[in-house]
Structure 1
Amino acid sequence: MGTYGYMAPEYAIDGLFSMKSDVFSFGVLVLEIVSGKKNRGFHHPDHDLNLLGHAWKLWTEGNPMDLLDASLVTLNSESEVLRCIHVGLLCVQQRPEDRPIMSNVLLMLDIEHPVTSQPKQPGFYSERSLIEMATSSSTRNKLHTSNEITVTLLQGR
């Protein structure tokens, strides 16, 4: 709880935490595993979306397999990868009431259980502004930080 990139929108904005907040975090992890990329600090040359926005964009365009990490391409289980992306997107939906409960998430990850509901737009699905990008890119380019110290010596007169 409280890690940027994994916090559910209702917790990050209003401080409301529930079981559905954990489901959101789990969905982020699933999408990170499938893509091989971290949500925080994700960059794509064609847009300024985070990993969740990128996964949603690919899903709505009908290209969810483009999310797959290159090292996993050799797997012959496209249906399992699609299932993971589908479940991951269901977990990161904006509204907590739209997200499944964790026991249903586990059932949906089982090959024998069909996933019938369609995901809605994820939380924190927005393009970064130019100001945010300039700020994050300038802080990202810093390779070190300097610690400054001031020493005051007290002496009698």
Structure 2
Amino acid sequence: MSLEYVIDGKFSVKSDVFSFGVLLLEIVSGKRNRGFCHPSHHHNLLRHAWLLWNEGKALELMDDSLPDSYIEFQGERSIHVGLLCVQKFPGDRPTMSSVVFMLTNQEAILPQPKQPGFFMERSPTNSGRTSPRELYTCNLVMVTMPEGR
């Protein structure tokens, strides 16, 4: 979910763009944003992608099972567009028609992405020895059936 929806309850077409960007980054990395775990830090997938982008190592985000099935330019472009979609402020995000244009038109010059939303680090529990599934609790739903007297 986009930052503006989580914090303010505001939903717009730019919220959909944010969700598409998360999905795009999940697809190219082969990892889910929720529960993302990296051995050297506790950032989510969006921040991990952002850090790699800023270090000029964006292609390190690509799924290891895809080494010969993509062209480097296309992989980096997909990450670039994904980062543009998950920018913190809705006004900075492109429209979906622009996203389609950027993904299909290789000659289009893309703006530099700004910091993504949810730019935070999770604190590890038990010295980082827990699996991602152990970091979350399972919410149980209980239903009370009212009965008349």
Please state which band the TM-score falls in when normalised by the shorter chain.
0.7 to 0.9
Q: Secondary structure at the residue paired with 1:42?
A: coil
Q: Secondary structure at the residue paired with 2:74?
A: helix
Q: Secondary structure at the residue paired with 1:41?
A: coil
Paired residues, number:
135
Over 6 Å off, 4+ runs:
none
Residue 63 of structure 1 is matched in structure 2 by: 57
Instruction: Please report the TM-score for the alignment, with normalisation by the length of structure 1.
Output: 0.79
Runs (5+) with no aligned partner, structure 2: 143-149
Larger Rg: 1
Q: Does 1:102 align with 2:99?
A: no
The alignment yields a C-alpha RMSD, in angstroms, of 2.2
Residue 110 of structure 2 is matched in structure 1 by: 116
Letter in 2 for 1:32: E
Q: Does 1:45 align with 2:39?
A: yes
Within 2, Cα distance between the matches of 1:110 and 1:34?
16
| TM superposition shift of 1:44 | 0.2
Within 1, Cα distance between the matches of 2:97 and 2:134?
42
Which residue, out of 30, 36, 45, partners 2:30? 36
Letter in 2 for 1:140: R
Residue 146 of structure 2 is matched in structure 1 by: none
| TM superposition shift of 1:17 | 0.3
Q: Secondary structure at the residue paired with 1:120?
A: coil
Contact 1:8 1:25 in 2 (8 A): yes
Contact 1:11 1:17 in 2 (8 A): yes
Instruction: Please report the TM-score for the alignment, with normalisation by the length of structure 2.
Output: 0.83
| TM superposition shift of 1:116 | 2.4
- Per the alignment, do residues 30 and 54 of structure 1 end up closer, same or farther by CA in structure 2, a change over 3 Å counting? same
Runs (5+) with no aligned partner, structure 1: 1-6, 150-157
